[in-house]
Chain A
């Protein structure tokens, strides 16, 4: 019995190297992880068998929620300011540096351009409560302008569309039609994953 114990004592594997490696990998993962900004508009995406993953950068995203309201999101922070400036120029709105900074923190544009200035000046709580959406009809194509200016800033952008399970098809058709009208023909529909049936 005593001899056994002694032998076990000799079986001491040095874990230092393993631990080193684990922490090294951990550091790598921590540094590469990008935590998503909290979504302002809750959207329940339908599932599909698509296996392609959404790309990280160079992406603008249009969200259509279950009520058929449209929201516009720019994923890369460094495109936000030039796009905002172009929009401001077109609609005759001048944004202060303070407002631009606030804009950088937003993950999605949820208000019409006319009320964006007061929206940026509002408190976080007020902002969460106001999600009227960006207008899109034949008379008011603000949403399409956002997309168009994004492409002016960066022509290689991908355009993702995130729709809710309960979004009515006419709302989606309107969006697609207006985008095709300005020659945006390639879209990526964001879905959650589902396994492909075997047969």
Chain B
């Protein structure tokens, strides 16, 4: 701009135009947007995600006799036993009859439990009633549980429940873990 003015003066012409007092607002706009970006990240991305978990309501003592435990056809369900140290087992037997050999070992990968759940659902006689029973052992941790609950969402299994292990299942699990740790 000053170059232009100087040239105008040199040529002998009187300054016809007043030098513009306009301030370049670009950096100001830049700064504004930069700060906006920061605040947007600070608000929306700091929020953690949540996963809903609904437990069945407590059964009152007086109702206990009337309420029968729901009958689940064994082919329509899969029991997932969450073990310690990142181990995972599944079975489709009756909980008080399952033996260590019938506990199938699997893992948390895509080809592990996810495949088993989908395969079991396809085998089910009534896929709409397919239920996943999650049984975390005392050795498992919270992360294992969340991972399995995650699989429920990924495989779109809407019917699932978290149940404690049957004493027989605990025995089978311990036997199974004993065997697998001996092999290693």
Interfacial residues, chain A to chain B (CB-CB below 8 A): 5-6, 9, 12, 14-16, 18-19, 21-23, 25-26, 29-30, 32-36, 45-54, 64, 160-161, 163-170, 172-173, 176, 179-181, 183, 185-194, 196-197
Enumerate chain B residues within 8 angstroms of A12, measured Cβ to Cβ. Answer: 22, 24
Decide if A15 touches B28 in the complex (CB within 8 Å).
Answer: yes
Decide if B39 touches A191 in the complex (CB within 8 Å).
Answer: no
Residue from the list B3, B140, B147 in contact with A46, Cβ < 8 A: B147
Decide if B53 touches A187 in the complex (CB within 8 Å).
Answer: yes
Decide if B55 touches A176 in the complex (CB within 8 Å).
Answer: yes
Enumerate chain A residues within 8 angstroms of B141, measured Cβ to Cβ. Answer: 165-169
Decide if A185 touches B4 in the complex (CB within 8 Å).
Answer: no
Count of residues in B whose CB is under 8 Å from the partner chain: 51
Enumerate chain B residues within 8 angstroms of A164, measured Cβ to Cβ. Answer: 142
User: Besides A46-B142, A180-B56, A183-B58, 16 other CB < 8 A contacts?
Assistant: A14-B22, A15-B29, A18-B25, A29-B39, A36-B46, A47-B146, A48-B149, A54-B48, A169-B137, A169-B140, A169-B144, A173-B164, A180-B57, A180-B58, A185-B55, A187-B52
Report how far A166 CA is from B144 CA in the complex, Å. 9
Report how far A19 CA is from B146 CA in the complex, Å. 46
Taking the closest CB of chain A, its distance from the CB of B52, in whole angstroms, is 6
Decide if B48 touches A26 in the complex (CB within 8 Å).
Answer: no
Please provide the 3 A-B residue pairs with the shortest distance between their CB atoms, ordered closest to farther. A22-B32, A15-B25, A29-B39
Decide if B25 touches A191 in the complex (CB within 8 Å).
Answer: no
Decide if A188 touches B153 in the complex (CB within 8 Å).
Answer: no
Taking the closest CB of chain A, its distance from the CB of B179, in whole angstroms, is 22
Does B119 touch A at the CB level, under 8 Å?
A: no
Enumerate chain A residues within 8 angstroms of B144, measured Cβ to Cβ. Answer: 169
Enumerate chain A residues within 8 angstroms of B55, measured Cβ to Cβ. Answer: 176, 179-180, 185-187
Known: A46-B147, A197-B154. A189 touches B50 (CB 8 A): yes
Report how far A5 CA is from B153 CA in the complex, Å. 62
Decide if A186 touches B52 in the complex (CB within 8 Å).
Answer: yes
Residue from the list B25, B138, B142, B154 in contact with A49, Cβ < 8 A: B154
Does B64 touch A at the CB level, under 8 Å?
A: no
Enumerate chain B residues within 8 angstroms of A23, measured Cβ to Cβ. Answer: 28, 32
Enumerate chain A residues within 8 angstroms of B14, measured Cβ to Cβ. Answer: none
Taking the closest CB of chain A, its distance from the CB of B58, in whole angstroms, is 5
Enumerate chain A residues within 8 angstroms of B31, measured Cβ to Cβ. Answer: 22
Taking the closest CB of chain A, its distance from the CB of B123, in whole angstroms, is 20
Residue from the list B36, B140, B146 in contact with A48, Cβ < 8 A: B146
Residue from the list A30, A54, A170, A173 in contact with B50, Cβ < 8 A: A54
Q: Which of B32-60 contact A (CB under 8 A)?
A: 32-33, 35-36, 39-40, 42-43, 46-58
Residue from the list A33, A51, A170, A176 in contact with B42, Cβ < 8 A: A33
Taking the closest CB of chain A, its distance from the CB of B114, in whole angstroms, is 8
Residue from the list B49, B58, B142, B147 in contact with A181, Cβ < 8 A: B58
- Interface CB pairs A-B, < 8 A, 27: A14-B22, A15-B29, A22-B31, A29-B43, A30-B39, A46-B142, A48-B150, A49-B154, A50-B150, A50-B153, A53-B47, A160-B50, A163-B142, A165-B143, A169-B136, A169-B139, A169-B141, A169-B144, A173-B136, A180-B58, A181-B58, A185-B55, A186-B52, A186-B54, A186-B55, A191-B48, A191-B146
Does B98 touch A at the CB level, under 8 Å?
A: no
A13 and chain B: residue at smallest CB distance: B26
